[in-house]
Structure 1
Amino acid sequence: MFTRLRLKNFKAWRDTGDLALKPVTMLLGTNSSGKSSLIQSLLLLKQTVQSPDRTVHLNLGGDEVNDLFNFGSFDDLLNQSADSLRQFTIAFDFERAEPERIKEGKFECSYGQTSSGSVVVQTLKLQTDKRLFQAVRREKGAFSILVDEESQPRMKGRDCAPERSIALSADVIARLDKDGPLAEDLSLAIRRELESISYLGPLRRKPERDYPWNKTKPGDVGSDGRAAIDALLASALLKGEEQNVVVEGVSKWLKRMKVAERLEVRQQGRSNRYELVIHRDGVACNLRDVGIGVSQVLPVLVVAYFAPKGSTIILEEPEIHLHPLAQSVLAELFVEVSRQRRVQFVVETHSEHLFRRMQTLVARQKVSTDNVALYFVEREGTSAHLRTLALDDFGRLPDWPPGFFGDAMGETREQARLMFERQKKSAP
């Protein structure tokens, strides 16, 4: 689980400060305020560690099949108000519940640009258990490797360049002698933390009338939910310890949202094609024939149960095309599934209903303020600004940001004023 995030000179952010990440973290705010940049920083590192080229320092994307985003160029990532150093920094802390040597650690990396335009690591810091490993860029692509507070580098050279932003090279690890295994374990733990991210974006695929299935289980649902159906089919049809877990979980939450009673997988004759059937009010309908909200929330529910335990699930606008009650129930989904499956949810949303239900869950003591973090992102000039929405134990927010979810009280007052004016004019 990620426990802290900090960005400097990254896209809309001059400096986020230390952003605490909890089992359920919600990011709210206006359009183009900088919410997505917070999410994209982690996704940028995820697609970098998954790059087939281990010498790459930062994979900006461009491969439509394998990459999550095309981030453009270095200048597209650099904050417009950055100082003359022209560097940006991504840093995070993490902790792992699995029985591994590395229980928690810190990552911090600053990036610059070479004369040829390539993005390159300037300073990499990997830290755990009060041990610190640094790779610092020198002239002509050479790097110095420092350990803890030592003033003199352990080694120097072009062959000391870090790999994929998060790892010291095999040669460096070997030359670190007894400190090498710890540096290697730390790099591996960071890699696993980034690879365990499951991301679902705001644009999801429309439903089909039926789907082919090759009897395999996908690695993830995909950023547009393209593999969510394969995950459902694998859950329903592949025998194993977790058979039907995803289907049953999806059915449970569709029912609580009052959009369906259950979900059924049906094979088309003896073919390799299957249809998804939605049952509601005694009527069975093909997924294609029900409201678009069901098909759009389906990948959200699937990834909640399909992502491996210990994963971080990043969602953008999970509430899209859902009616208010269903939007509210999403808050309950995040709280319950996070606790039951030990997964972390980082959610970017515009839904007032989702936020209000989270307040209620805090008041009901279904979730503590230690396990949920709420942030409001707003724009100040060319830079984004972060405001912590600190709920008390009764779910109340004493300091509401201006314009937060519009002006409901103002609208009510205006309606009352107009009603009294019209009544006064019509009075004899």
Structure 2
Amino acid sequence: MFMQLRLTNFKAWESPPPIDLKPVTMLLGTNSSGKSTLIQSLLLLKQTVRSPDRTVHLNLGGDEVNDLFNFGGFDDVLNQAAESPRQFSIGFDFRGRGDSGRVSAGQFDCTYGQTSSGSVAIQTLDLRTDSRRFRAIRRDKGAFSIMVDEEVQPRFKGRNYAPERSIAFSADAIADLNQDGPIVEDLSLAIRRELEAISYLGPLRRKPERDYPWNKTKPGDVGIDGRSAIDALLASALLKGDEQNYVVQGVSSWLAKMKLADSLEVRQQGRSNRYELIVHRDGAACNLRDVGIGVSQVLPVLVVAHFAPAGSTIMLEEPEIHLHPLAQSVLAELFVTISRQRKVQFVVETHSEHLFRRMQTLIAKQQVKPDQVAMYFVERDRKAAKLRELLLDEFGRVKNWPEGFFGDALGETREQAKLMFERQRGARA
């Protein structure tokens, strides 16, 4: 679980305060304000640790098959107002899932600059546990100094100590650290596992097909556009095991709560290896292709909530698209319930007032504590993004809500009443 995010000169963000992340974190704000950039910073690190080239310092993308985003070049990532030194940084605190060796929590901070050839190079990599600190600091001509704890002098330095994939010390550095080597190696492994455990679903999702082939395997994830969500449902329904139908039943349950369907069924087409997804509602059974687009668009959201491994971090952009107000509201209950049941963390970028208002109600009903939910409002201050943490009391009331974001419901009602009375007076005259 990610506990805190830190950015400096990263795209729209100059130097915001550290951003505390909770089991459920919601990002609200105006269009093109920088909300998605907060999510993208961690996804940039995720695609870096997955890079086949272990010597890469930061994978800005370009591989349409394997990369999550194409960030362009160094200047596309660096904040436009950044002054000398022209560098940006990404950092986070995390608490592991208890399966990362001797490291269960730690801190990552990395600063990046540009080489004379235009490539991105680490300037400082700083990894910490509760009691230990390891730094790799770039020197002249690509050499790195390795510093341990608060030592003033480097243990050693050289070009062979350049960090790998943003998070790891080189094999030579680990070997030369002697008894400290396994500690920094476990720390890098814990960081890698947290980044790899991110499941991301973007705002643009695939339209449904009438039927689907199945290769009798379970997908690794649902994909950034939900392309493998159906594969996950097929695997849930057709693969034997203790968790057979777990995903299908979980998705069906939430579709029913959203008043979108009574249940979901995987149905084989004759004796072929093709299957269709049947949506049952009010006694009728329809192919997924023949129901409203809202069902197919929320389906990957519900699937990833049940399919992502326990302890994962799920990042969602606009999960509410094409949903009616009630269904949008139920998403808040989904995040709170699944987060508690499966120890899953949600980071959600949304424009939905209904989702936000239901989260307030859940707090007021004491179904979730205010310290289990973080809400941030993002807005633009000229060229820079500005972050405001929304302060909620025990009744879900926001103490510092920015005016006008969700409109003025009471003002609209007053205006309608005023116009009604004016028109009634005019009709009597």
The normalised TM-score by structure 1 is: 0.99
Offset of residue 405 of structure 1: 1.2
Where structure 2 has 5 or more consecutive residues not aligned to the other structure, the ranges are: none
2: CA distance, partners of 1:223 / 1:140: 38
Match of 2:22 in 1: 22
Query: Which deviations, in whole Å up to 9, do the C-alpha atoms of 1:135-156 show, x marking residues without a partner?
Result: 0001111110000100110110
2: CA distance, partners of 1:102 / 1:250: 35
Superposed, 1:206-285 pairs within 5 Å as: 206-285=207-286
Match of 2:423 in 1: 422
Match of 1:7 in 2: 7
Match of 2:404 in 1: 403
2: CA distance, partners of 1:82 / 1:24: 32
Match of 2:89 in 1: 89
1: CA distance, partners of 2:220 / 2:401: 41
Offset of residue 412 of structure 1: 2.0
1: CA distance, partners of 2:78 / 2:362: 39
Superposed, 1:313-392 pairs within 5 Å as: 313-392=314-393
1: CA distance, partners of 2:258 / 2:300: 15
Amino acid across the alignment from 1:252: S
SS of 1:354's partner is helix
Amino acid across the alignment from 1:83: E
Superposed, 1:35-46 pairs within 5 Å as: 35-46=35-46
Amino acid across the alignment from 2:63: D
Query: Which deviations, in whole Å up to 9, do the C-alpha atoms of 1:28-71 show, x marking residues without a partner?
Result: 00100000000000000000000000000000001111000000
Match of 2:119 in 1: 118
Given the alignment of the two structures, is residue 105 of structure 1 paired with residue 106 of structure 2, yes or no?
yes
Offset of residue 96 of structure 1: 1.4
Match of 1:145 in 2: 146
1: CA distance, partners of 2:300 / 2:40: 20
1: CA distance, partners of 2:68 / 2:407: 32
Query: Which deviations, in whole Å up to 9, do the C-alpha atoms of 1:270-293 show, x marking residues without a partner?
Result: 111000000000000000000000
2: CA distance, partners of 1:125 / 1:356: 40
Offset of residue 15 of structure 1: 1.4
**% identity of equivalent residues:** 77
Count of residue pairs the alignment pairs up: 428
RMSD value, Cα: 0.8
Amino acid across the alignment from 2:333: E
Amino acid across the alignment from 1:28: L
Offset of residue 224 of structure 1: 0.2
Match of 1:55 in 2: 55
Query: Which deviations, in whole Å up to 9, do the C-alpha atoms of 1:324-349 show, x marking residues without a partner?
Result: 00000000000000000000000000
Offset of residue 407 of structure 1: 2.4
Amino acid across the alignment from 1:223: I
SS of 1:134's partner is strand
Amino acid across the alignment from 1:416: A
Query: Which deviations, in whole Å up to 9, do the C-alpha atoms of 1:299-333 show, x marking residues without a partner?
Result: 00000000000100000000000000000000000
Offset of residue 391 of structure 1: 1.0
Where structure 1 has 5 or more consecutive residues not aligned to the other structure, the ranges are: none
1: CA distance, partners of 2:137 / 2:11: 23
The normalised TM-score by structure 2 is: 0.99
Superposed, 1:284-299 pairs within 5 Å as: 284-299=285-300
SS of 2:241's partner is coil
1: CA distance, partners of 2:56 / 2:410: 52
Match of 1:198 in 2: 199
2: CA distance, partners of 1:16 / 1:399: 18
SS of 1:356's partner is helix
Given the alignment of the two structures, is residue 303 of structure 1 paired with residue 304 of structure 2, yes or no?
yes
Amino acid across the alignment from 1:313: I
Offset of residue 219 of structure 1: 0.4
1: CA distance, partners of 2:215 / 2:423: 66
